[in-house]
């Protein structure tokens, strides 16, 4: 089966078809030769996966007998040799025949899946403080990938940003063991605080409690800077307020905003000046 994503490349067009093209999508270069039996075993696997992942990457075939300068340029000492280019550079490679399962793993690490891109989109929207759009992105992803830790984490962050502590708590309390687990644990105090704020009788508030309640309310209104200002005010009066909960809440807000967010960097410095 022919595919527009499988091409033969020579010395004359390598720069354009591989180097420049790899700035658009990854290009997998297969260095091979007619006499090479292992090459003929690898070829159908590469072609199959290229067609299967239609448009995710390009497969460029280089005959080393006809393009010896390219083989020398990229230090091809044995064939088949497979080299992956992205943004003009070699980012991954392997040599010899590999089973299809291993090549799938190779491609998975090299080329983000649709789910990976969705998670990246949702997290970018979180950083931009677009809670609603981020929530919709993660909500759609969880319907297709129930139980996926990165999606669950993104969804919990969105719920907390919207002030929905109970729903976030339900996700966090049953969070799967995964690389995202430690971050999920850091968000639990924020969920707990939002739930407490919604239940407590505010008529009995002390002034410091009123400040804390107002800060938590500002979170649900999407005004994180004002909320963090309020929590810092609480911490100036009592660094261990509610057994350290206020400190954990602001750290949870940092996790939601992301550590590249200018507000996070600003309030990290302010938090340090208050606590230390």
d(CA 199, CA 219): 16
Catalytic residue, chosen from 6, 28, 29, 39, is 39
Asked if 158 is an active-site residue, the reply is: no
* Residue 27 phi, psi dihedral angles, 5° rounding: -120, 125
Torsion from C-alpha of 98, 100, 102, 107, nearest 10 degrees: 110
Asked if 39 is an active-site residue, the reply is: yes
Judge whether 49 and 100 are in contact, CB under 8 Å. Answer: yes
Judge whether 148 and 117 are in contact, CB under 8 Å. Answer: no
Catalytic residue, chosen from 6, 36, 103, 126, is 36
Q: Which residues are part of the catalytic machinery? A: 36, 39
């Amino acid at each position: 089966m022919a595919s527009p994503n499988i091409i033969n490349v020579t010395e004359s067009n390598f720069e354009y078809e591989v180097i420049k093209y790899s700035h658009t999508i990854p290009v997998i270069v297969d260095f091979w030769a007619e006499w090479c039996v292992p090459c003929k075993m690898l070829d159908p696997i590469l072609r199959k996966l290229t067609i299967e992942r239609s448009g995710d990457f390009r497969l460029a075939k280089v005959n080393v007998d006809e393009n010896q300068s390219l083989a020398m340029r990229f230090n091809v000492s044995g064939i088949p040799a497979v080299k992956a280019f992205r943004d003009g550079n070699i980012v991954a490679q392997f040599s010899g025949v590999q089973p299809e399962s291993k090549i799938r793993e190779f491609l998975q690490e090299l080329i983000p899946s649709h789910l990976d891109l969705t998670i990246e989109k949702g997290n970018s929207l979180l950083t931009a403080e677009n809670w609603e759009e981020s929530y919709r992105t993660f909500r759609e992803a969880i319907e297709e990938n129930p139980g996926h830790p990165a999606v669950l984490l993104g969804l919990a962050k969105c719920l907390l940003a919207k002030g929905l502590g109970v729903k976030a708590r339900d996700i966090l309390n049953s969070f799967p063991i995964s690389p995202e687990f430690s971050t999920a644990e850091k968000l639990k105090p924020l969920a707990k605080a939002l739930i407490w704020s919604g239940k407590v009788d505010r008529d009995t508030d002390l002034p410091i409690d009123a400040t804390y309640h107002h800060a938590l309310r500002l979170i649900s209104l999407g005004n994180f800077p004002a909320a963090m200002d309020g929590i810092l005010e609480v911490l100036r009066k009592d660094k261990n307020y509610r057994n350290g909960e206020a400190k954990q809440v602001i750290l949870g807000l940092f996790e939601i905003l992301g550590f590249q967010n200018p507000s996070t960097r600003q309030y990290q410095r302010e938090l340090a000046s208050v606590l230390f």
